[in-house]
Structure 1
Amino acid sequence: MTISRSSPLDGRRRGRRWLGYAVIIFIALAGAARFLMLRAFDSGPLQPALTTISRLPVTLPDGHPALLGDTIKPGVPTVITLWASWCGPCRSEAPKIAELRRRFSSDTLNLVYLNVRDAAASREDLASYMAKYGMAPDGYAVLADERIAALTNASDIYIPRTLIFDRSGKAVAKITGYKPFALDRIKGLVTS
């Protein structure tokens, strides 16, 4: 009768193998969670309806005061993006937002670029930023920082932030931070 004994070396190999499997599973789960997070719209309360925020004061590119509602055509879906020229994630997001303008005309989508938290930037700096990233100047305005909470229904002033409204002006989604897959999903909201 032969008795087979496993050596301590075999036990260590099995332990390392299982540790390797655990690391691979952890990496796969972390990657899936990151993918879902980047694809997701924000949870929690949405921003107020367009009828409420349309009375917020803004400054137009020529320096004249106006109301946010002056930049929004009624009966058209609306995307409002909050950005600053110094903001790295805003620079990453800008081409995606500009792509929305190229895909949808101003007759089919209100696209409002609200510059916030950027007091040191001159009009020339802002115009250069918008030209560099292909952002159309037709919906550009500056919103005072103290008005961000009234616009977003949030106590924080994180940017970039993108607010999406349907054609009736009802808030349908918001995105805080640069989330490229969520930005891609805006196209579906706009066309539905």
Structure 2
Amino acid sequence: MSLSRAPRRTLFAVGVLTAALALSACSDGDGGTSGGGGTNFVTNKGGISTAPKGQRATPGELAGETLEGERLDVADLKGKVVVLNAWGSWCGPCRAEAPHFAKVAADLKGKGVEFVGLNTRDANKQQALTFEEDYKVPYPSLYDPAGKLILFGFPKGTLSLQGIPSTVVLDKEGKIAARALLALDEKKLRSMIDPLLEEK
């Protein structure tokens, strides 16, 4: 009996995520949430939330197949600052921020920063691959059409990915240090990365 309930719970959770993403998808406002409900993060006026060192959560498993069919595990990138960006080819604000992400990723290549996309709600890989080609995206994206990585990869009450686009930055220890729930330009993206590069 428990075996039949587990898949139902998973389907329900994925359904809840899909509904939540549908409600919050493609938001380009400057909104965000501040600390509360036992959280230790603060959101500035630009919609970027941060957690102080020593009070950062560890994400769950963020691993799977990339759009190119290769295996990728974000845990293997520990020791570097990791930028995780949830996006979809159908999302207007994702298209607006894509050139900024491509530029910053190229500028910081070999400087202790890795970018990983989390492609979600694209019906097939080809749409997403065309998006990456059009915007010259130089980094891999995990293919997550049902949003399972977004749902299960971040503990409740942490700086989690919510909606599309949204971005989380992990510190060198692999912990969740910053989050933005809006489309980012180069300046805002760098403001999330630079302080973490300077941490010892």
TM-score where L is the length of structure 2? 0.62
Structure index of larger Rg: 1
- Structure 1 residue 40 displacement after superposition: 3.6
| Equivalent in the alignment of 1:182 | 188
Structure 2 residue identity aligned to 1:95:
P
Give the secondary-structure state (helix, strand or coil) at the position aligned to 1:42.
strand
For residue 121 of structure 2, the aligned residue among 87, 92, 117 is 117
For residue 98 of structure 1, the aligned residue among 95, 98, 102 is 102
Structure 1 residue identity aligned to 2:49:
D
- Structure 1 residue 153 displacement after superposition: 4.0
For 2:63 and 2:95, locate their aligned partners in 1 and report how far apart those are by CA, in whole Å.
Answer: 25
| Equivalent in the alignment of 2:112 | 108
Change (3 A) 1:168 1:62: same
Change (3 A) 1:156 1:191: closer
| Equivalent in the alignment of 2:164 | 159
| Equivalent in the alignment of 1:140 | 141
| Equivalent in the alignment of 2:89 | 85
- Structure 1 residue 147 displacement after superposition: 3.1
Structure 2 residue identity aligned to 1:88:
G
| Equivalent in the alignment of 2:77 | 73
| Equivalent in the alignment of 1:30 | none
Residues 6-31 of structure 1 deviation map (CA, whole Å, 9 limit, x = unaligned): xxxxxxxxxxxxxxxxxxxxxxxxxx
Kindly indicate whether the alpha-carbon contact (under 8 Å) linking 1:48 and 1:151 is maintained by their aligned counterparts in 2: no
| Equivalent in the alignment of 2:174 | 169
1:5-84 aligned at under 5 Å gives the runs 37=45, 39-42=46-49, 48-49=57-58, 52-53=59-60, 55-63=61-69, 66=71, 68-69=73-74, 72-84=76-88
Change (3 A) 1:127 1:40: same
Give the secondary-structure state (helix, strand or coil) at the position aligned to 2:179.
strand
Structure 1 residue identity aligned to 2:81:
P
Give 4+ residue runs of structure 1 displaced > 6 Å after superposition: none
| Equivalent in the alignment of 2:197 | 191
- Structure 1 residue 189 displacement after superposition: 2.8
| C-alpha RMSD of the superposition | 3.1
Kindly indicate whether the alpha-carbon contact (under 8 Å) linking 2:72 and 2:142 is maintained by their aligned counterparts in 1: no
Change (3 A) 1:183 1:56: closer
| Count of paired positions | 149
Give the secondary-structure state (helix, strand or coil) at the position aligned to 2:83.
strand
For 1:92 and 1:148, locate their aligned partners in 2 and report how far apart those are by CA, in whole Å.
Answer: 21
Unaligned runs of 5+ in 2: 1-30, 32-43
Structure 2 residue identity aligned to 1:135:
V
For 1:48 and 1:166, locate their aligned partners in 2 and report how far apart those are by CA, in whole Å.
Answer: 10
TM-score where L is the length of structure 1? 0.64
